[in-house]
Amino acid sequence: MGIKDIRRSFILERAIKIFCDNSIAEVKIKDVAVYCNIGEATFYRYFPKKTALIVACAVKLQEKVAAFFGNDREGRGFDRLSRFYYRFFEIFSEHRDYYRFLSDFDSYCIREAVKDLDSYSDGLDIFKSQFEEAYRAGLEDGTVKEVYDIDLFYYSTTHALLSLCKKLASEAYIVRQDDLTDKRQEIRTVIDVVLQYLKKA
Amino acid identity, position 43? F
0.75 surpassed by pTM: yes
Contact 27/13 with Cβ under 8 angstroms?
no
Q: Which of 16-25, 94-103, 163-172, 178-187 has the lowest mean pLDDT?
A: 178-187
What's the half-sphere exposure (Cβ side, CA atoms, 13 Å) at 100? 18
Dist. CA 32–CA 21, nearest whole Å: 12
Contact 77/134 with Cβ under 8 angstroms?
yes
Burial of 98 (0-12, 13-18, 19+ CB in 10 A): buried
Task: Say which residue, 173 or 139, is predicted with more confidence.
Answer: 139
Dist. CA 100–CA 89, nearest whole Å: 14
Task: Kindly tell me if the per-residue pLDDT of 174 is higher than 80.
Answer: no
Share of the chain above pLDDT 70, in %: 94
Structural domains in the chain, sorted by start: 1-48 (1.10.10.60), 52-198 (1.10.357)
> Stretch 14-34: mean pLDDT, rounded?
90
Q: Which of 72-76, 78-82, 85-89, 104-108 has the lowest mean pLDDT?
A: 72-76
What's the half-sphere exposure (Cβ side, CA atoms, 13 Å) at 90? 9
Dist. CA 191–CA 86, nearest whole Å: 7
CA 54, 100, 60, 58 dihedral sign is negative
Which of 19, 94, 23 is CA-nearest to residue 57?
19
